[in-house]
Amino acid sequence: MSGNQFNGIVMADKTYNRIKAVLAEKSKTNIWLAEKMNKNVNTVSKWCTNKMQPTIETLFAIAKVLDVDVRELLVSTK
């Protein structure tokens, strides 16, 4: 099955979050984020490649760890 899974629903390959870009802007790695979030490195890697999306609650926690507005972690719809 091709495409991404979002809450169990397969979706077309699309970029929904900017976690990888924000990590790069902050000179941080997904391994660093995994350690800070107490998450599996593979999970964070899937977030960074948009193969899986974090929950809203987790997205807010990521924003806090990265010291950014949560909106910076999302691709704008406009």
Q: Give per-residue pLDDT as tens, 3-33.
A: 555 554 445 578 999 999 999 999 999 999 9
Residue-wise pLDDT for 64-78, tens only, equals: 999 999 999 999 988
- For residue 41, pLDDT over 60 is answered with yes
Domain range for 66 is 15-73
33 lies in some domain: yes
Residue type, 29: T
Angle, helix 56-66 to helix 30-37, in steps of 10 degrees: 110
For residue 32, being part of any structural domain is answered with: yes
State the total domains in the chain.
Answer: 1
The strand pairing partners of 5, in sequence order, are 10
The pTM score is: 0.82
Residue 51: which CATH number?
1.10.260.40
Residue 53 lies inside a defined structural domain of this protein: yes
Whether 27 maps to a domain, the answer reads yes
In a domain, 9, yes or no: no
Residue 6, pLDDT score: 52
Residue 24's pLDDT is what?
98
Query: Does residue 23 form part of some domain?
Result: yes
- Cα 24 to Cα 21: distance, rounded to the nearest angstrom: 5
